[in-house]
Structure 1
């Protein structure tokens, strides 16, 4: 059996499992980073409804801070592109 999906990303994503925070307007929403690349990430969130059109992703343990914007979502996972 072969995988018929075509990879469209410009940079490869790597599987990770890291706790992070989506920060915006003085608020923070906890999330889990599921995969990460130089251009974006996939995040699991309890409820993606109400997230702003851009925010800061903070992975405290890695001292990682990036501005990003959601580019897709499905149920409790969102894909973000880094600005």
Structure 2
């Protein structure tokens, strides 16, 4: 990068400093997301290891809700197709 910054108070310096701060914020946000993702995965792994009954119950509950939602969407879709054919 070719910078011609004469003094720390110049406009060029201010623009460069803002660009550096912006890039640093972006990188920090990306790292924060990565850390949250890693922590979530590790917590999930710990839950499955230390609380297998609770994990199985939550999984069954989630699967039952997903199945119910699938049935409802299928039923509504079928009725919409029937209605559209009239």
Query: How high is the TM-score relative to the length of structure 1?
Result: 0.15
User: Highest relative contact order (Cα 8 Å, sep 6+), 1 or 2?
Assistant: 1
Query: How high is the TM-score relative to the length of structure 2?
Result: 0.15
Between Structure 1 and Structure 2, which shows a larger proportion of strand residues? Answer: 1
Between Structure 1 and Structure 2, which shows a larger proportion of helix residues? Answer: 2
